[in-house]
Amino acid sequence: MAFNNWTNTKWVISEDEVTIFPFRISKLLAFIFGGLAILLCAAFWFIEHTSFEVILPIVAPILFIAGLIWMSGNSSAIFDNKKGVFKRKLFNILPVSTIPFSKLHAVNVVNQTLGGYSYKLFRKNARYGKGITISSGYSNNNDANATAFVNDVIPRIHAFLDQHDPQGPDKPADIEHFKYFKEEDGVYVVRNGKVSNLIYALVFIGLSIFLATLIEEKTTGVWIGQGFFLIMTIVFANNAFTHFIFDPDAGTVKKKALFAFLNKEFDYKSYIGVQTVRHSTNGIYSRTSVNLNFLSSDKSKSAQEVEVASFYRVSKVERFMQEYQQIMRLNLGNS
């Protein structure tokens, strides 16, 4: 808890301004760097009996980096209601960017690929994009700091944004021609990447046949490779024939897979909400998934997450969400 006191997101709220310090976790990293520099210095001094003149050029750059990281923990995100702008300041000194409130959409929670979650600010023209982190470092759903942030900070920010939104809340326009859903007899089926999944399945089955027929010596590695290719063939074949079906009359969403035991059905009475999750591979953005959340029907009442679509381009996520929200109005209206 001692570390949390100076690494958790901190904020200061006044009548016309909210100042947030979202990267205070950097101070912990700076503390580690500083500790390494001291240990390195001690090792050279006491073990190698190296002179201070030799140690200084080695340790000084590490201490300098630690200092910069520590200062970055003081970087701030400022919501200035008087000027109607959002500002970011590096080290809480150097201006980085300024965005008018009229161009901002809202603050939303974002799940992270490796676990945990953060709160990000999104622009109106990129509601499902990367976003701007304004509070991070949470792993526990019951985190006291996150709860306080949701209760005290986010409502004030949204109140500021509402005051500077001349058009008011967006009124969704009805979509006549769906791009990512197909209407069939009153139900809506999510279009999936059937062709691409089938191509991958054919590639892996081809590799499996190659190992089975053209390599005479069946070593353990060959058997493992063949088994892996067969499993990947099954996975992609199943993905190609998996469909999500939204039924407004029945008030349900169904998952129909190639294998019957993977079929599922969810009642919209247990619907919690929808989330978009940005995924990264080795720190590089790879895709954004659209996940539906339902409350399980068993005694645990835990949340069940179902991925119904995935896209690389933010514009496609935006379009899918527009279509989804229109269909959801039908589902919730009839359920």
- The tens digit of pLDDT for each residue in 111-162 reads 766 667 889 999 988 888 888 999 987 887 778 898 899 999 999 999 999 9
Please give the class, per CATH, of domain 172-191+242-335: mainly beta
Average pLDDT score over the chain: 85
pLDDT, tens digit, 9 for 90 and up, residues 40-58: 888 877 777 777 777 788 7
Q: Is the pLDDT confidence value at 301 over 70?
A: no
Q: Give the model's pLDDT for residue 171.
A: 63
Angle at 331 between CA 126 and CA 124, to 5 degrees: 10
Range 58-76 average pLDDT: 88
- DSSP string computed for 119-149: EEEEETTBTTS--EEEEEEE--TT-HHHHHI
Q: How far apart are the first and last CA of the chain?
A: 45
Q: 185 is written with which tokens? A: 């007899």
- Distances in Å between the Cα of 266 and the Cα atoms of 243, 245, 273, 275 are 14, 10, 13, 17
Q: Where are the domains of the chain?
A: 2-25+73-163, 172-191+242-335, 193-241
CA distance 329 to 331: 6
- Among 41-55, 114-128, 280-294, 300-314, the range scoring the smallest mean pLDDT is 41-55
- Distances in Å between the Cα of 304 and the Cα atoms of 22, 41, 287 are 30, 52, 21
- 2-25+73-163 and 172-191+242-335 agree in CATH topology: yes
Q: Which residue would you say has higher pLDDT here, 218 or 183?
A: 183
Percent of the chain surpassing pLDDT 70: 91
Q: What is the signed CA dihedral for 217, 220, 226, 229, rounded to 10 degrees?
A: -140
Q: Which residue would you say has higher pLDDT here, 290 or 47?
A: 290
How many other C-beta atoms can be found within 10 angstroms of the C-beta atom of residue 59? 16
Q: Which residues pair with 183 in a beta bridge?
A: 188
Q: Is the pLDDT confidence value at 169 over 60?
A: no
Residue 260 amino acid letter: A
Q: Give the model's pLDDT for residue 8.
A: 85
Cβ within 8 Å of residue 323, ≥6 positions away: 175, 178, 179, 180, 181
CB 21 within 8 Å of CB 70: no
Under CATH, what is the fold of the domain 2-25+73-163? Answer: PH-domain like (2.30.29)
Residue 201 amino acid letter: A
Range 218-235 average pLDDT: 86
Centroid of chain to Cα 271: 20
